Structure 1
Amino acid sequence: MDAILADMFPVNRIGYPVIFARFTGAILPGAAIGFEREAKNRPADMNFENFRFDPLRVVEAVTAGVAFLAAGTIVLSRGEIHGITTGAGLWLAGAVGLCLGFGHWIIGLAAVPAGLVILFIVGLLERRFGSGGCGGG
């Protein structure tokens, strides 16, 4: 009986300071990505980005949830597609949250500036050359 209970309710071997640090580490980069979207008046703002940063979720559930939200930001209006960049930002926020939630700090924290640089460069290219009917978002 003890083995069954131990399997159902495992003892947490990770200390609460580590759990708190991972949770905080997952929220802050999401806020940074959300701020980038908010600064450009895009649909996903700071609060919305943070809702996906629950490091206790199963990877598949986060992936499916983020995919659903990202798809919802992509719209076709007057023959132009908008929101692809916002959708990519949502995927980035979900991936970073998972990395940090699972304790992969270097990968997660390296992905944030890399993603923000890519979002910045894509924004510059869209302003310079126009979105060409896709991606403006």
Structure 2
Amino acid sequence: MIDWPDAVLRLTAAAAVGAAIGLDREARGKPTGVRTLSIVALGSALAVLLSEHPSGVQADASSRVIQGVLTGIGFLGAGVILRRDSGDKVRGLTTAAAIWFTACIGMACGLGAWPIVVTAAVLVALILALGKRLERLLVPQNNKDEHRPPGSA
């Protein structure tokens, strides 16, 4: 059984890490921000914590909760993926990935997997901060096929 101080720590950590990811998305003017990603991480952590609660839940409940959270979050992420008017460019993929990642890191907080939380948070911060610059450096703009959906020219 998880004691209350540990549960509060896990939930608070999830909300804080979600907020940090949201700050990056908000600073870049993306559709999700601090509130959305904090809630995604907090809800994911809560779902995992509840699956560990000693209320007679079966032993494999945690894996089913994780599977359910990831499925549900996939639908939320799909809602931010948009095609431009021309129909050949897709936008919102990084935001959708950030939503999905935030759910995962929230679940890690819920499980109390602190080394994983810290490592993942540092890595995603680096990716979000430096990824676009690295992409511009390594992929020439004239050869870049900007997130084109399959089957488009």
Contact 1:99 1:105 in 2 (8 A): yes
- Structure 2 unaligned spans of 5+: 48-64, 149-153
Contact 2:18 2:38 in 1 (8 A): yes
Structure 1 stretches of at least 4 aligned residues deviating more than 4 Å after TM superposition: 126-131
The Cα RMSD (Å) is 1.8
Using the TM superposition, give the Cα deviation of residue 127 of structure 1 relative to its aligned residue in structure 2, in angstroms. 5.1
- Structure 1 unaligned spans of 5+: 1-12
Match of 1:7 in 2: none
Using the TM superposition, give the Cα deviation of residue 123 of structure 1 relative to its aligned residue in structure 2, in angstroms. 1.9
Using the TM superposition, give the Cα deviation of residue 99 of structure 1 relative to its aligned residue in structure 2, in angstroms. 0.3
Match of 2:146 in 1: 133
Alignment partner of 1:56 is 2:38: no
Equivalent residue runs for 1:119-130 within 5 Å: 119-126=128-135, 129-130=140-141
Per-residue displacement from partner, 1:81-102 (whole Å, max 9, x unpaired)? Answer: 1111111111111110000111
Indicate which of 112, 122, 127 corresponds to 1:103.
112
Match of 1:22 in 2: 10
TM-aligned CA distance change 1:17 to 1:56, over 3 Å: same
Structure-2-length-normalised TM-score: 0.73
- Looking at structure 1, the residues matched to 80 and 102 of structure 2 have their Cα atoms a distance apart, in angstroms, of 14
**Sequence identity of aligned pairs in percent?**
32
Contact 1:96 1:109 in 2 (8 A): no
